[in-house]
Every structure is written in C-alpha cells, then in structure tokens.
C-alpha cells in the first residue's frame, strides 16, 4: 500500500491530518458539520506527565469548552463515542460518564447507548473491587444518524431455531446475517456464548503496546466506525494519543484527523501510520479469539508454595469492614478455576 501524505493542519486535499498542539485551538480551525464520527478517550485528570491535575469541577468545565466545539464540527448524521472510566481519588470512585452526560445533554445530543467495555486485566485493588470495565457514551446529533448494524452483527447462538406458531411457523426465526451484539462489549472465542463483545485492553503483552499509559485497542474503534460511518467519511480523535483511532480509520478507508499536545505521541503516531502503509504495523485482527487456558498450562496451575496454605479460615476484617459476618473461602484443589480470559498469548 503506497504511503499517504499527512498534513498538520486541516486541508480538504489531504485524507490524513495529524496535529500537535492544543485541542480546543485546533478545533476552531475546522469547518462546521465536517466530521461523521468523533471517538476518543479524553484525559482523566489523573495527574500524569501529560496532564495538569485540577479539581473535578475545573476539569469538567475545560472539557465542556472542547465538547461545544466538537458538536459544532459534527455532521448532522454523525455520532460521538466518548470512552471514559472511573476517576479514583482517596479510594472514592467518580464514574466520569455520569459527570459527562449532562454536558452532552445540555448541547442537545441524544444518548443512544451506554456501552460497557469489559476487559480481564488491570490494576488490582486492595480496598475496593478491581475495576475491569469502562464505558462508551454513544451520542448522536439528530434522529437521522448513520447506523450500519449489519456491519457489526455477531453469530446467532441457535441459528437453527424456527418459529413455533403464527404465520411464520416452521420458518427460521433468526436473522441470517447474525444478531445485534448488545451494549456490553467483550470479544469472545464464540461471541454467541454470552452475546457480548470482549477486546483486551492494551497491556504489556499486547502487540499494539507503546509508551502511552492509557492506550485503547484498535478493535474498539473498528467496531464503532464500522457501525457509525461509511467509506471516505471523516473520523476525528481530539485526544488521539499514539493514533490508534487513526489506524482503525485507515484500515477501513476512512479519512482521519488526530490531535494531541504531546510531541512524543505525535511522533509515534506518524511512525505507526508509516508502518501501517508499509505493512509492518503490529495489531490484533478484528474478532481474533482471546486465549482461554485449559488448565494444563504451567501458569494456570496452583504454585506448590500455595498448596499447604490454610485458606479455609474465615475472612478477617480490614479497613471498612463492619464485622457483620464472614465469607468462607473455597479450598484450592490442584489448579485454579481459570475460566477468566487471558490476554497473554495475543
């Protein structure tokens, strides 16, 4: 595939725009009603190197300025996919999608789905349950929006089912193209098993991993752009990081715009785009099964050091425990009940 020229500023003659700088200032240079899909994972106000820590109120106010510009550049048939998680401060969790919803609603956008993206790996917590999901708020600008359901259907669990009564009695009752995948996304080996989509988050063993601390998988974007856009439509990621959204768009013949203030991330984005056109970029193929251990692997068995541990003792109370009862722990029986999907062998 021949390499494509990249512009750093909006130019209708270019199909790839990658801008290093302030998101709000760049958005002001774009024409209204240009973009068919805006998809991003905004900064979480976590105080990372590339973020300035601020109060939650100040953070949301700054985001509102950006979102107003995003709505202006969004096409009337377009969609916004806003992917966020939970902001945790002093062990208290703030679900950011709940804080963002009023901002979008005030701008007259319509929420179509609150999509749950579940993944199996992340930080392990000691004083609350470990977080294993993030949300994608899917908004549209109008009731006349692009939605290509057939492009993202999943296989039917029982394709041979038939109507048992009525005028269609005896005829197949399933859609031959597959079924609607629901609003809980987990890509599974057999997607019909739970009717959800699972894609692994980008951790150390993931083939797409770069230096970015909060990188999301290309597959996640692919599902959205296939459903909400058509070929040659514009896709915008206002916080593009290392360019995963742009790669997804280029894979499916979309025009792409990415913005990020970090020079290092923009350099990586340029390199990844170059590698994509050279055919050397590593990424998980859309729908690739996630490895499920069978219990015979060495790393799925109970370590010898654990076998003599007394784990049947009642749970001892810790911080926040009112002491109202205990939960016994099941004994270890030779190997872990390892049905959790692992992303190690990607």
Higher per-residue pLDDT: 293 or 328: 293
Separation CA 36–CA 74 (nearest Å):
6
Separation CA 211–CA 317 (nearest Å):
39
Higher per-residue pLDDT: 191 or 42: 42
Average pLDDT over residues 232-251: 96
pTM: 0.76
| Cα angle value 48/200/204 (rounded, 5°) | 55
**Residue 55, pLDDT score:** 81
Average pLDDT over residues 259-268: 94
**Residue 53, pLDDT score:** 59
Residue 301, helix vs strand vs coil: strand
Share of the chain above pLDDT 70, in %: 71
Structural domains in the chain? 16-278 (3.40.50.150), 295-346 (no CATH)
**Residue 77, pLDDT score:** 98
289 confidence band (pLDDT: 50, 70, 90): low
Q: Cβ of 102: how many Cβ atoms within 10 Å?
A: 11
> Is residue 249 a contact partner of residue 221, using CB atoms and an 8 Å limit?
yes
Average pLDDT over residues 4-10: 94
141 confidence band (pLDDT: 50, 70, 90): very high
Average pLDDT over residues 297-306: 72
**222 class by beta-carbon count within 10 Å (0-12 exposed, 13-18 middle, 19+ buried):** buried
Average pLDDT over residues 155-161: 86
Please give the order of strands across the beta sheet that includes 234-237: 16-20, 255-260, 234-237, 35-40, 74-84, 133-140, 110-118, 184-185
**Residue 181, pLDDT score:** 84
- Tens digit of each residue's pLDDT (9 = 90 or more) over 176-220: 998 888 888 764 434 433 444 455 544 444 444 454 445 478 888
């Amino acid at each position: 595939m021949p390499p494509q020229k990249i512009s750093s500023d909006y130019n209708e003659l270019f199909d790839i725009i990658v801008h290093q700088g302030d998101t709000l200032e760049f958005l002001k240079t774009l024409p209204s009603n240009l973009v068919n899909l805006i998809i991003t994972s905004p900064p979480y106000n976590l105080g990372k190197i590339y973020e300035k820590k601020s109060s939650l109120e100040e953070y949301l106010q700054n985001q509102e300025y950006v979102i107003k510009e995003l709505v202006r550049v969004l096409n009337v048939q377009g969609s916004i996919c806003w992917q966020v998680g939970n902001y945790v401060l002093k062990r208290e969790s703030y679900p950011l999608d709940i804080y963002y919803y009023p901002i979008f609603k005030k701008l007259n956008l319509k929420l179509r789905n609150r999509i749950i993206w579940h993944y199996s790996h992340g930080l392990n917590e000691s004083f609350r349950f470990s977080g294993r999901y993030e949300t994608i708020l899917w908004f549209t600008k109008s009731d006349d929006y692009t939605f290509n359901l057939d492009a993202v259907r999943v296989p039917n669990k029982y394709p041979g089912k038939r109507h048992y009564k009525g005028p269609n009695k005896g005829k197949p009752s399933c859609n031959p193209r597959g079924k609607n995948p629901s609003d809980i996304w987990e890509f599974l080996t057999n997607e019909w098993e739970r009717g959800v989509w699972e894609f692994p988050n980008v951790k150390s063993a993931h083939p797409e991993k770069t230096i970015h601390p909060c990188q999301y998988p290309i597959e996640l974007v692919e599902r959205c752009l296939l459903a909400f856009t058509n070929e040659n439509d514009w896709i915008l990621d206002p916080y593009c990081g290392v360019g995963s959204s742009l790669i997804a768009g280029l894979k499916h013949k979309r025009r792409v715009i990415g913005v990020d203030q970090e020079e290092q991330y923009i350099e990586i984005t340029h390199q990844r785009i170059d590698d994509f056109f050279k055919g050397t970029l590593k990424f998980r193929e859309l729908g690739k099964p996630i490895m499920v251990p069978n219990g015979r692997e060495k790393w799925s068995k109970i370590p010898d050091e654990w076998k003599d541990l007394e784990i049947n003792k009642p749970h001892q109370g810790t911080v926040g425990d009112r002491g109202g009862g205990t939960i016994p722990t099941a004994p270890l029986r030779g190997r872990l009940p390892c049905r959790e999907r692992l992303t190690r062998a990607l």
